[in-house]
Structures are given as C-alpha cells and as structure tokens.
Amino acid sequence: MLSQAGEHTDAFKVRYEPYTHTWQLVMPEKDEAGASEKVVSQIVAADGGEGQGHRLAVVYDDATDTIKLYLDGYTNAKATASLPNGWHSTGALQIGWAGADNGWGEYLHGDVDEVQAYSGALRDGDVSSLGWGTEPCLC
C-alpha cells in the first residue's frame, strides 16, 4: 500500500486486490469523504514472497491530465486514466497503509524494499529503468 494523504481522503492509493489478482491505483475525484473514485489496474498474480516481487510506479502528468500505473516498468490502456480535475495534496506520502474511516487501514501484507519519489512526470522509458540502479532523466 502506498498513499498520499489529503484532508478528507487520500489523493491516491496503490493497493493489491488478491481476489482479482490486480494492482490497483485508486484516485478520488475530490478531497471529500465518499467521493467518487477512478480505479485503474494491472493484472498479475502475487509471487507469495517466493520471487523477485514487483516494481510499481505511479506517474501523474499535469500537462496532459493523465495518471498511469506501471507494473515492472510497463503500463497499458487499462492502467491509464484521464484525471482533468486532479486536486493538490499537501499530505504525507504513506507507505504500508492508507486512510480509512477517519483513521488508518488497508494495511500492506508484504514487504517494501525501496521507495523513490520524483517531482515531475517521468517518461515511459525512464519508468522502465527504475529499480535497476539507474537514475531517470528529469529533463
């Protein structure tokens, strides 16, 4: 679980849904409790701690009003959404849980090896190289 807190809800959260075998990116359309949400996803079975795990990335491009969920360096149309009225969050980046019912919940049942955060929208080629010891071009 990775999320960024807003005043009333998370600006976004990344979670794994075991029943559908999907990594999901959830984005409320407003900073309001119960706001409608956009959800995009990538299907992949969890490795149960037996494999290399997965590399996840979220890229929001304010210039094009798009948000993408990358899994192991790749995205697709089902993992991309238009977010024309995205809202600004000044809340903390949360690792391991997300906001739920005026508290914390949706706890991660797994391990996080590394987290990187960048200002600006990374290009597809830069995302695919994340996690392999190279730095993206922030051109």
Torsion (CA) 73, 83, 23, 44 in degrees, nearest 10? -60
Average pLDDT over residues 23-39: 88
Higher local confidence (pLDDT), 26 or 100: 26
Q: What is the pLDDT of residue 100?
A: 62
pLDDT in tens, 60-83: 888 898 999 999 889 999 999 988
Answering whether pTM is above 0.75, one says yes
Provide the residue ranges of all domains of the chain, joining segments of one domain with +.
2-128
pLDDT in tens, 77-111: 999 998 887 777 888 788 776 766 666 667 667 77
Four-CA torsion 47, 95, 117, 45, nearest 10 degrees:
20
Q: What are phi and psi of 120, to 5 degrees?
A: 105, 165
Long-range contacts of 16-24 (CB under 8 A, 24+ apart): 16/46, 16/110, 17/41, 18/46, 21/45, 21/46, 23/54, 23/56, 23/69, 23/71, 24/69
Residue 32's pLDDT band (boundaries 50, 70, 90)?
A: confident
**What does the mean pLDDT of the chain come to?**
82
Q: Are 54 and 37 in contact (CB under 8 A)?
A: no
In this predicted structure, the answer to whether residue 33 has a pLDDT above a threshold of 70 is yes
Closest-CA residue to 1 (of 12, 15, 22, 11): 15
